[in-house]
Amino acid sequence: MTAMRMITRDTAVFLAVARTCAPDFGHATAKAAFLVTPDGFARAEQSAGDNRYMAAAAAFDPGQALAEHRGLHRALSGVLPTIAFAGDRATPDALFPNNVFATAPGKVVIGRMRHPVRQREARREDIRAFFRDVLGYDEIDLSQQGHPCELTGALVIDRARGLGFCGLSERCDAQGAALMHAALGLRATLLFDLAPGEYHTNVVLAVLAGRATLICPQGFADADVVETIAALYAPHALRLSADEHASFAGNAIALSDEVVWMSAAAEQALTTPSRELLASAGFSARSVPLAAIEAGGGSLRCCVGEIF
């Protein structure tokens, strides 16, 4: 395979190719965002089976989650156009739409979710029609094939250089990763195993506007993968502590060139050295309270669908 369409587990090969990829693949940050409101927010037992971050059912507060989500919508709307689709009581995890829908310029990709309760989300005709009929995007539907590929939950993307970082777990296998790599037209994707107990890459890794990264080392099965990613983004590779990891600081997103967004708990967990490293990369941290939403096993980045 050519360097322009390479998918590999070999960290040395990936790093050599990635270093040749100029930041000319596309815009580093999204032009708009979309959310799905947490209507019917509740513990989905199927999802809880492989999401250790999810709280017990008694800890779910649907009213507070909805209020937090409105706050998130207001905050992001001050940065870029942000729309919200209605939720559905039949899909209690739908407030995390980036696992199901992902975009690249001119196309929308629909992922194959592992659990049946989440597969229902891929059948949302209103969201499909928005991309297909309103924006005129081509639809690439991966939802009916047999390999799990939970899009930008499993696949963290450097949009500036066209690079993918895909952690394999029960939520994404190697064939699913290859399908996402092809659908999004990435130049090179690194495959690796997540640590036992981790379900999505975007909980343990964030690439910020193509020039910095947040890494939770405990979330990777192989330390060499951590070092490879850190080398690619040095000197702006921030290794988060166990406390920062547990507070969802790795589940962050840059929606502009200057700000990284995360939950209030994540920002409060940031150490002084972490803040200083972000500042050295040209970022400040902004946050919104998401404690009730985080009971669902995800945080701010999981709530945000990016439109490129």
pLDDT at 1 over 80: no
Residue 242 half-sphere exposure toward CB, CA atoms < 13 A: 1
Q: d(Cα 1, Cα 230) in Å, to the nearest integer?
A: 25
User: What is the rounded average pLDDT for all residues in the chain?
Assistant: 96
Q: What average pLDDT does range 104-118 have in this prediction?
A: 96
User: How many angstroms separate the Cα of 297 from the Cα of each of 45, 64, 108, 246, 254?
Assistant: 12, 15, 25, 11, 20
Closest CA to 5 of 173, 184, 155: 184
pLDDT tens column, 129-141: 999 999 999 999 9
> Dihedral through CA 292, CA 293, CA 298, CA 300, nearest 10?
-120
For residue 55, name the pLDDT band (cuts at 50, 70, 90).
confident
Which of 308, 297, 295, 291 shows the shortest CA–CA distance to 72? 291
Cβ burial, residue 125 (10 Å; 0-12/13-18/19+): exposed
Between strands 101-104 and 107-110, the pairing is: antiparallel
The answer to whether the beta carbons of residues 264 and 288 sit under 8 Å apart is yes
* Backbone torsion region of residue 6, taken as left when φ is above 0, otherwise alpha when ψ lies between -120 and 50, otherwise beta: beta
15 Cα distance to chain centroid: 21
> For the ranges 50-54, 192-196, 270-274, which has the lowest average pLDDT?
50-54
Domains and CATH numbers, the chain: 3-307 (3.75.10.10)
Q: Can the peptide bond before residue 217 be classed as cis, meaning omega within 30 degrees of 0? A: no
Task: Tell me the pLDDT band of 24, cut-offs 50, 70 and 90.
Answer: very high
| Per-residue model confidence as pLDDT tens digits over 72-101 | 999 999 999 999 999 999 998 999 999 999
**Among residues 159, 43, 142, 39, which one has the least CA distance to residue 99?**
142
% the chain with pLDDT above 70: 99
pLDDT at 260: 98
pLDDT of 193 above 50: yes
Q: Residue 4's pLDDT is what? A: 59
pLDDT at residue 3, rounded to an integer: 45
Q: Is 267 left (phi over 0), alpha (psi -120 to 50) or beta?
A: alpha
